[in-house]
Structure 1
Amino acid sequence: MSATAGAVAAVDLGATSGRVMHARIGANTLELSEVARFLNTPVRLWEGERAALHWNVAGLWTRVLEGLGSVARSEPGLASIGVDSWAVDYGLLERGRLRGEPYHYRDERTQRGVELVHAVVEPSELYREGGLQFLPFNSLYQLAADAADGALETGDGFLLIPDLITYWLTGRQRAERTNASTTGLLSSDGSWNDGLIARLGLNRSVFPELVDAGTAISPLLPSLATDLRFAASGPTVTAVGSHDTASAVVAVPMDASRAAYISCGTWGLVGVELEHRVVTDEGREANFTNEGGVDGRVRYLHNVMGLWLLSESIREWQRRGLHVDLEGLLAEAAELPRPSDVFDAEDPRFLAPGDMPSRIGAWFSERGLRVPASPAGVVRIIVESLAAAFAQTVRTAAQLTGVGVEAIHIVGGGARNALLCQATADRIGLPVLAGPVEATAIGNVLVQARAVGLLSGDLETLRALVARTSQIVRYNPSLGTPSC
């Protein structure tokens, strides 16, 4: 392993916010600083009959360049840049140009795509082919809707969001495999499933070459290197685990043979890491997915609604004119007794943006249960409902795979939420190890650093560096007081 430290930059785009991180990294060094953070706010654009939900990817691109410019001012000799983001959403290109702002996975058009795909291929066959859980916004459903509208007839490029940003940085169209695995269009060997693509009537020519995490895509475009004030040669743009969860799992300081992980942000991705896919009827019925991980690992996991429930509730209360903040509400919620009832955090009614507290109240009212009366009460019931869903999902993952789970690692924004971490430990009866909060960015820079020679070794070696350099907080069941 290299004895010297070097610098790389991570572009990490989440479903609610993005950031650019500057990292110094070496054999015993892992230091990250945030140089830019910005909101990722979707936009509604009128499309003749409805206002469709899109990502403002042009706005994100502007913020990304501003962040990289800030990195260049302090690190003109930067070695590498890597990009990760949320999954499934994509841009369509025609003659190399983006054809409109990409659709948001929460846009209602996805239901039409589900009907179109399932009319051709049974869900059970889709699971055998791709190993993916059913989510109505998976890329293949979105693409089916696009094909029905004629949007693929003249297109010549399909790029998932991090691949699109990478294309704009390098001029090279590539599809990184961990994120491509979320499209539903990969075969079990990790290649594009040409047979399925043909059956669905999709244009095979739009799908770019697949590459693995750690692949050098290209040097940064010379014009961008000059504009951003990098050194003459410019940094290399390196493919990382471009699905943000794939990067986050790289940075979980776990023994994968004995642990489960929860990458907790807008979504709660709950699962275990495997060497091989588990494609069984039981897994399909439990809606578990086999997504690609770095170094050929498999992320066997299930999506739970996540902190979206809290953030959308906060937005609604603020729209009503209430002066609330999450930190204050969590403190109030911690003083309330543990509720006797929880709601189903995976109910599809909670997927779309809007009045989350009213929807939660309706869930309770429909069952003749007492509706939480205050914002703090709603926050407590959300936390306990998420913890219950997390605990059950971990149990199911262990049953389906045979992994003997002895601890749960929570990384991402949820690692900051002490109430959620403690509730999860209490509900599953196992210790919860919280941190690092910046797991996605850390995993991103670890893969880059290994690719450019600043580090070497397997995932276990990289995770050992995370364990040595990160603060991990332990929550024991029913003890209430975390220890470091």
Structure 2
Amino acid sequence: MKRVLAFDFGASSGRAILAEYENGHLTYKEVHRFENCPRERDGHFRWDFADLMANVHQGIEKAGAFDSIGFDTWGVDFGLLDEDGKLLGDPVHYRDSRTEGMVEKAMARMDADALYAATGSQIMAINTLFQLLAVQEQDAETWEKARRLLFMPDLFAHALCGADVCETTIASTSQMLDARTGAWNRDVLQSFAIPEHLFAPRVNSGTAVGEYQGAKVIAVAGHDTQCAVAAMPAPDANAAFLSCGTWSLLGCELDNPILTQRSRLDALSNEQGANGKINYLKNIVGLWLIQESRRQWRREGQEYSYAQLEQLALAAEPLRSFIDPDDPLFTPPGDIPGRVREFCRRTGQPVPETVGQVMRCICESLALKYRFALEQLSRATGKQFSVLHVLGGGAKDGLLCRMTADCAGIPVIAGPVEATALGNILIQLVALGELPDIAAGRALIAATEPVKRFAPGDRNDWDKAYETYTTILSE
């Protein structure tokens, strides 16, 4: 029997999942859950790394004996270390305002088509490249002292066992990795005066990078999306995936990247997958809209469970008004319901006033944006998607899954809910020699994990709404 411990860090919470695997049978349980509470410090919005590491040690203590441990996190963020290996301040949150205007400044050094052709990454201000430009410009002292950059999952491994590595899937969120070769793109680094020696040696997902108290520390797919996709239950060649949590990442697997201007203009991204494939995907603001709305209502003295919010949405009039989830208006924390009203007012739509109307607007808008992204992916790849696998926390949202199936006109398979942790676990089991490869892990998931299927229903009303929605997106 093998026991593996998976740490899955999200933008708002983290957990430790202990799994046991014996004779083809996998069981797992959550042994520790904790909040991830970024805060303002030294003029920036930062992750509390000491608190997160304290929770890592609590999770380890609660787990007892295990054979290996692995970390996955959100993408793009990092810590900078000095020559003594000391962290130069808590890692800055991707939602910090320091990257405002950095994309425009970067385009003066390398135009958008050249940068996209080099890296295949959707050009977003949150990406590591633009964060580093902000450090160069705004914090020369830190930049001068920095000797090593470690992405968040690699930083956790370093803090635990001293590992000094850069796992490939997390590096591919940086806007600096070459989409064709999987190496650092030197033209990009030279254009932005970023020394290649700042980065640790690259390793593939599934590499043992150290030990902690006799257990192997394994660099799993550091980017949580790639862990979730690794646990996609036995997909066919024309399957699409939607890793649905705070962010929605909707995509498909390819053998080679797509680096055309049309792909860039469609804001599609090429990321390295745990199985060596390219995960060709679109980043879409996801359940953040619902999570932050719920927090806003709580701040206003109204407490709702997610089940209550779903019921209120169901009771509201359908297909009345829509938002673009990716409008910059919805990026910062705060009054998301108020911004939904502002967006609808600005675009000449009926303004949602009640909690149910706001929720309905958000859910329908996500379903419509998913259809829009699927059509972009289909045009770029030539694939006609046969099914959409919804992976992660969004698989629990039956209303959103139903709306997505109806709107997109393809079956939705929701689950596993714990796809990210399961992908982390499967990669560790492959590294330990218990499974031959990711494909075998996916077959195991398909045979053992519960999923829910949503067949598409009548699409006529959604087709009319989609015409309106695409008009809103083009404004």
Superposed displacement of residue 256, structure 1: 4.3
Q: Which amino acid aligns with 1:182?
A: T
Counterparts in 2 of 1:454-473, with a 5 A limit? 454-457=434-437, 459-473=438-452
Superposed displacement of residue 121, structure 1: 0.8
Say yes or no: does 1:83 pair with 2:71: yes
Say yes or no: does 1:58 pair with 2:50: yes
Counterparts in 2 of 1:68-217, with a 5 A limit? 68-72=60-64, 76=65, 78-94=66-82, 95-148=84-137, 149-150=139-140, 151-187=142-178, 188-217=180-209
Superposed displacement of residue 46, structure 1: 4.0
Identical pairs, percent: 38
Say yes or no: does 1:446 pair with 2:393: no
Mapped contact 1:178–1:242 kept (Cα < 8 A): yes
User: Hey, what's the Cα distance between the residues in 2 that align with 1:27 and 1:12?
Assistant: 25
Per-residue Cα deviation, 1:297-332 (whole angstroms, up to 9, x for no partner): 111000111000000000111001112222211122
Mapped contact 2:321–2:352 kept (Cα < 8 A): no
TM-score of the superposed pair, with normalisation by structure 1: 0.92
Q: Which residue of 1 aligns with 2:393?
A: 413
Q: Which residue of 2 aligns with 1:29?
A: 25
TM-score of the superposed pair, with normalisation by structure 2: 0.93
CA shift in 2, pair 1:441/1:479, >3 Å: farther
SS in 2 for 1:329: helix
Per-residue Cα deviation, 1:30-63 (whole angstroms, up to 9, x for no partner): 212000111112101243xxxx211112111111
Mapped contact 1:288–1:300 kept (Cα < 8 A): yes
SS in 2 for 1:296: coil
SS in 2 for 1:309: helix
User: Once structures 1 and 2 are overlaid, which stretch shifts more, 375-384 or 108-117?
Assistant: 108-117
Say yes or no: does 1:297 pair with 2:277: yes
Per-residue Cα deviation, 1:145-187 (whole angstroms, up to 9, x for no partner): 1122312212111001101001011112100000001111112
Mapped contact 1:27–1:454 kept (Cα < 8 A): no
User: Hey, what's the Cα distance between the residues in 1 that align with 2:70 and 2:42?
Assistant: 34
Mapped contact 1:79–1:235 kept (Cα < 8 A): yes
Q: Which amino acid aligns with 1:172?
A: A
User: Hey, what's the Cα distance between the residues in 1 that align with 2:316 and 2:105?
Assistant: 47
Say yes or no: does 1:360 pair with 2:351: no
Q: Which amino acid aligns with 1:134?
A: I
User: Once structures 1 and 2 are overlaid, which stretch shifts more, 200-209 or 241-250?
Assistant: 200-209
Q: Which residue of 2 aligns with 1:423?
A: 403
User: Hey, what's the Cα distance between the residues in 2 that align with 1:101 and 1:114?
Assistant: 23
SS in 2 for 1:263: strand
Q: Which residue of 2 aligns with 1:228?
A: none
Which structure's relative contact order is higher, taking Cα pairs within 8 Å and 6+ residues apart? 1
Mapped contact 2:321–2:351 kept (Cα < 8 A): no
User: Hey, what's the Cα distance between the residues in 2 that align with 1:432 and 1:447?
Assistant: 25
Name the Cα RMSD after superposition.
1.4
Mapped contact 2:315–2:356 kept (Cα < 8 A): no
User: Hey, what's the Cα distance between the residues in 2 that align with 1:215 and 1:352?
Assistant: 36
User: Once structures 1 and 2 are overlaid, which stretch shifts more, 130-139 or 145-154?
Assistant: 145-154
Counterparts in 2 of 1:238-249, with a 5 A limit? 238-249=218-229
Q: Which amino acid aligns with 1:275?
A: D
CA shift in 2, pair 1:27/1:429, >3 Å: farther
User: Once structures 1 and 2 are overlaid, which stretch shifts more, 439-448 or 19-28?
Assistant: 19-28
SS in 1 for 2:145: coil
Q: Which amino acid aligns with 2:79?
A: G
3, 7, 28: which one pairs with 1:7? 3
Per-residue Cα deviation, 1:383-434 (whole angstroms, up to 9, x for no partner): 1100111111112111111222011010111000000000000101111000
User: Hey, what's the Cα distance between the residues in 2 that align with 1:41 and 1:115?
Assistant: 30
- Runs of 4+ aligned structure 1 residues displaced above 3 Å come to none
Q: Which amino acid aligns with 2:261?
A: D
Mapped contact 1:92–1:158 kept (Cα < 8 A): yes
Say yes or no: does 1:346 pair with 2:331: no
| Number of equivalences | 455
Mapped contact 2:242–2:391 kept (Cα < 8 A): yes
Per-residue Cα deviation, 1:250-294 (whole angstroms, up to 9, x for no partner): 001142411100000000000101111111111111010000101
User: Hey, what's the Cα distance between the residues in 1 that align with 2:120 and 2:23?
Assistant: 36
Superposed displacement of residue 470, structure 1: 0.4
Superposed displacement of residue 196, structure 1: 1.8
User: Once structures 1 and 2 are overlaid, which stretch shifts more, 191-200 or 127-136?
Assistant: 191-200
Mapped contact 1:131–1:277 kept (Cα < 8 A): yes
SS in 1 for 2:413: strand
Superposed displacement of residue 479, structure 1: 7.7
